[in-house]
Amino acid sequence: MTADNTTTAVEATDDHAHGEDDDDATCEYCGDRFPTEQLRDLHRGLEHYDVLDDDDRAAYEAAYEAETESLQSFRLRALAALVLLYFGFLMLYAVVGL
């Protein structure tokens, strides 16, 4: 803080980086920090499942389902991109090869 009790942008960034003023996603079992609560919930379910209560297990299962849906969507988009790329090169070869 500066002399007139205002916080500079650098100090605010430092406070945020150290988690002093926000509710960050830290694992209360091992202290690991995560950028999102979803990643923290996945970590807790994989590493600390035996000590979780019902609410934490439900959060893990919800995060797992969301992650599964996201991965499935990525796989389908990647497959579509590869198919389009393959047929694009096939058409290019057919046009240039003639």
Instruction: List the domain range (segments joined by +) for residue 33.
Output: 9-97
Task: Determine how many CB atoms are found less than 10 A away from the CB of residue 40.
Answer: 21
Alpha helices in the chain (DSSP H): 9-17, 37-47, 54-97
* Residue 2 located in a structural domain: no
79 pLDDT tier (thresholds 50, 70, 90): very high
Confidence class of residue 10 from pLDDT cuts 50, 70 and 90? very low
Q: Give a yes or no: residue 3 inside a domain.
A: no
Q: Is residue 15 within 8 Å of 8, Cβ to Cβ?
A: no
- What per-residue confidence (pLDDT) applies to 97? 78
Hey, what amino acid is at 64?
Y
Residue 4 within a domain: no
Which helix H or strand E contains 34, and what residues bound it? strand 33-34
Is residue 1 domain-resident? Answer: no
Interval 15-73: pLDDT, tens: 444 444 346 899 999 999 999 999 999 999 999 999 999 999 999 999 999 999 999 99
What's the whole-model pTM score? 0.66
